[in-house]
Structure 1
Amino acid sequence: MIKGFIFDFDGTIIDTETAWYYAFREAYQEYGVELTLAHYSTCIGTSLNSFNPYEYLMTDLNLPIDKEEFRIAVQQRHSELMEKEAIRPGILEFLNSAKEANLKLGLASSSSKAWVEKHLELLDIQDYFECIRTSDDVARVKPDPELYVQTLEFLDLAPSDAVAIEDSPNGSKAAAAAGMHCVVIPNELTRYLEFDVPHHKTDSLSSLDFEHVVTRKIFS
Structure 2
Amino acid sequence: MVWKERKIEAVIFDMDGVLIDSEPLWKIAEVEVFNSLGLNLDKPDFEETVGLRIDEVVAFWRSRFPWEGKSNEEVIHEIIDRVVYYIEREGKPMRGVHEIVPFLSSRGYKLGIGTSSYSRILKTVLKKLELETYFDVTHSAEFEEFGKPHPGVYLTCARQLGVRPSNCLVIEDSFNGLLAAKAASMATIVVPDGSNTPHPHLVIADEQYESLLDVLELFKEK
Give the structure-2-normalised TM-score. 0.78
CA displacement, residues 12-66 of structure 1 (integer Å, 9 cap, x when unaligned): 11021222213434666786824362x423322112455428964xx74456777
Pick the structure with more helix per residue.
2
Q: CA deviation at 1:205?
A: 0.8
Q: Distance in 2 between matches of 1:48 and 1:24?
A: 10
Q: Give the match for residue 156 of structure 2.
A: 150
Which of these residues, 168, 187, 191, is aligned with residue 174 of structure 2?
A: 168
Q: CA deviation at 1:206?
A: 1.1
Q: Distance in 1 between matches of 2:185 and 2:193?
A: 24
Aligned: 1:5 with 2:8: no
Q: Distance in 1 between matches of 2:39 and 2:215?
A: 43
Which structure 1 residue ranges, 5 or more long, are not aligned? 216-220
Which structure 2 residue ranges, 5 or more long, are not aligned? 1-6
Verify the 8 A CA contact 2:55 2:76 in the aligned structure 1: no
Q: Give the match for residue 137 of structure 2.
A: 131
Verify the 8 A CA contact 1:19 1:82 in the aligned structure 2: no
Aligned: 1:122 with 2:128: yes
**In the alignment, residue 115 of structure 2 is paired with which amino acid?**
S
Quick one: structure 1 residues 66 and 138, their matched pair in 2 at CA, closer, same or farther if it must change by over 3 Å?
closer
Q: Distance in 1 between matches of 2:48 and 2:82?
A: 23
Aligned: 1:96 with 2:102: yes
Q: CA deviation at 1:83?
A: 3.3
Verify the 8 A CA contact 1:8 1:109 in the aligned structure 2: yes
Corresponding residue SS for 2:193 = coil
**In the alignment, residue 91 of structure 1 is paired with which amino acid?**
V
Aligned: 1:33 with 2:44: no
CA displacement, residues 114-173 of structure 1 (integer Å, 9 cap, x when unaligned): 221122122210111111111243111111111111111122222232210111111111
**In the alignment, residue 203 of structure 1 is paired with which amino acid?**
E
User: Number of paired residues?
Assistant: 212
